[in-house]
Amino acid sequence: MKKEKKCSIIIRTNNEERWITPCLKAVFAQEYTNFDVIIVDNDSVDKTVEKAKHFPIKRVVKIENYLPGKALNEGIRNSDSEYIVCLSAHCIPVNNQWLGCLVSTLNENDNFAGVYGRQQPMSFSTAADKRDMLIIFGLDRRVQSKDSFFHNANSILRRKLWNDVPFDDELTNVEDRVWGQEIINRGLNLVYEPSASVYHYHGIHQNNNQERLVNVMQIIDKKGINSFSGSIDATSLNIIALVPISRHRKRKSGKDWLINGKQQYSYTIEAAKKTKYISQIIVSTDDKEVSIIAEKLGAKCPFIRPPELSEAWVNLEIVQKYSLDKIEELDIYPDIIVHLEETFPFRTPELIDDMIDHLLKEGYDSVIAARPESGFLWQEDESGNYIRLDSGDVPRQFKERSFIGLHGLGVVTHPEFIRQEKLLGNRVGLYVIDKPLAGFEVRDKQSRKIANTLIEYL
């Protein structure tokens, strides 16, 4: 039996924590197993490196003053394999045959100097990027003897050729195409192998006429030509529900905490436990008694929060940043955080899972639960005057759609924003609830009384 060639997979990173987990999960799921992974990190300030170290990578190489060819060269110098695989951190192998396809293609002919694979867009890639990838990375295999196009986001090459032709250390981009031209000049071949495919969220060209591009992609989607689109699999991620519970909610008797004889927060923990995607439920509380009960219900309480964080003037963003800092000190690095508050006892596990799916499919920074509102909307200004927000007395079918955000019901977000003391990033998606009872909030004695009545009929 022919011995498998050893591969070193070089992955360049710079603040790629959103992508590194799905990327490495797909890499380490390959059927071809004779490889190691070297991360070349350019001063990431997020948790890219920490998350990468949760996988059996060979080493992390730190660089400054990033240049693409220089970074690849440095990674290759730290490797000892005969074959070198270049993979962008935000590229996700489509299946477990990806690496084997690259290797087997390079093995076919000694004149094959390098092989690059297909790139498929994500479901949320822009219309221009989808078009670019569909046109450039098609389904026909090509052996290139004159065409120097080569793409390092998903490729393999021979180390002995790199010894003679390293990547240009000085170029700010297209180092792969310059390398490809030198290979062609030497009479060698480059190969495009579509079977070795990855998902890649952005294309290689700038947008031109965006309106025209959107129209083109709408036609393609309408015809059902959308099987190429990919999205990150939520089951591959470390998704943590972070539930803040403050001492000031607790009354002396404890009875007004109860709904149908159960602690109010138990309904939130139970819903989170029944989801498909949440890996851990972490309760952030300043109350030891709450932590004991919460752990019996299946949550974790790895720390007790300082009581000063429960004061009325302390906002949730500060509380959640503190909570994230504490769990990351324990070497727990969530890929996604689900913010849930105890005041919504009628939320369902399906609502939480659907919000997570919505975030990943559309590529949002954050998703917040929202209730549609078609009535009259007013806002009070600093002088106590009321300002009309909606368009006025027009028939409902012609009125703009308005929504009330329900952050306590659910916010699905990336940890990078929590670290900035924000629940929401810049690109926010709304998850519009279709079950009104899910948005019923229990914050006082009267609403708790209503909840006790409602729960008897559910």
What DSSP string describes 263-320? EHHHHHHHHHHT-SSEEEEEEEES-HHHHHHHHHTT-B---B--GGGGSTTS-HHHHH
Residues 244, 125, single domain; the answer is no
Residues in the chain: 458
Say if 1 falls within a structural domain: no
| DSSP bridge pairs for 243 | 283
As a whole number of angstroms, the distance between CA 116 and CA 132 comes to: 16
Q: How far is CA 55 from CA 9, 37, 77, 324, in A?
A: 13, 9, 21, 21
CB 31 within 8 A of CB 97: yes
Report the relative pairing of strands 336-339 and 239-245 from DSSP bridges: parallel
Residues 33, 134, single domain; the answer is yes
As a whole number of angstroms, the distance between CA 415 and CA 337 comes to: 6
pLDDT at 86: 97
pLDDT at 209: 47
- Reading the block at residue 176, the tokens are 């792969």
* DSSP label of 260: T
222, 247, 276 - which closes a domain: 222
pLDDT at 138: 93
As a whole number of angstroms, the distance between CA 23 and CA 26 comes to: 5
Burial category of 164 from C-beta neighbours within 10 Å (exposed 0-12, middle 13-18, buried 19 and up): exposed
Residues 38, 172, single domain; the answer is yes
Residues 322, 447, single domain; the answer is yes
As a whole number of angstroms, the distance between CA 365 and CA 77 comes to: 36
Q: Which of 310, 412, 309 is nearest to 358 (CA)?
A: 412
CB 46 within 8 A of CB 416: yes
Burial category of 351 from C-beta neighbours within 10 Å (exposed 0-12, middle 13-18, buried 19 and up): buried
Residues 207, 243, single domain; the answer is no
Total structural domains within the chain: 2
As a whole number of angstroms, the distance between CA 93 and CA 23 comes to: 7
CB atoms within 10 A of CB 328: 15
CB 251 within 8 A of CB 288: no
Instruction: Give residue 185's domain range.
Output: 7-222
pLDDT at 254: 45
Say if 228 falls within a structural domain: no
Say if 391 falls within a structural domain: yes
As a whole number of angstroms, the distance between CA 341 and CA 278 comes to: 15
As a whole number of angstroms, the distance between CA 423 and CA 349 comes to: 21
CB 82 within 8 A of CB 5: yes
Contacts of 378 (CB under 8 A, 6+ apart): 386, 387, 388, 389
CATH number for the domain spanning 182: value is 3.90.550.10
- Reading the block at residue 296, the tokens are 């019996």
Report the relative pairing of strands 142-144 and 258-259 from DSSP bridges: unpaired
As a whole number of angstroms, the distance between CA 390 and CA 30 comes to: 54
Say if 143 falls within a structural domain: yes
Say if 227 falls within a structural domain: no
Residues 296, 343, single domain; the answer is yes
Contacts of 31 (CB under 8 A, 6+ apart): 96, 97, 99, 100
| DSSP bridge pairs for 337 | 240, 413
Residue that the structure tokens 């065409």 belong to = 147
As a whole number of angstroms, the distance between CA 40 and CA 36 comes to: 13
Residues 145, 177, single domain; the answer is yes
Report the relative pairing of strands 91-93 and 112-120 from DSSP bridges: unpaired
pLDDT at 347: 95
pLDDT at 2: 60
Residues 160, 46, single domain; the answer is yes
Contacts of 95 (CB under 8 A, 6+ apart): 197
Helices and strands counted in the chain (H then E): 14, 20
Residues 238, 218, single domain; the answer is no
| Blockwise average pLDDT, block size 10, the chain, 458 residues | 83 95 97 97 95 96 91 95 96 97 96 96 88 91 94 95 92 86 94 96 61 55 57 92 79 59 92 97 94 95 92 90 96 96 95 96 94 84 85 71 91 96 95 90 89 80
CB 426 within 8 A of CB 234: no
Say if 315 falls within a structural domain: yes
Q: Which of 58, 18, 65, 63 is nearest to 35 (CA)?
A: 58
Residues 206, 343, single domain; the answer is no
As a whole number of angstroms, the distance between CA 213 and CA 127 comes to: 6
Residues 146, 253, single domain; the answer is no
Residues 449, 378, single domain; the answer is yes
As a whole number of angstroms, the distance between CA 342 and CA 335 comes to: 23
168, 197, 222 - which closes a domain: 222
222, 256, 288 - which closes a domain: 222
Say if 33 falls within a structural domain: yes
Say if 252 falls within a structural domain: yes
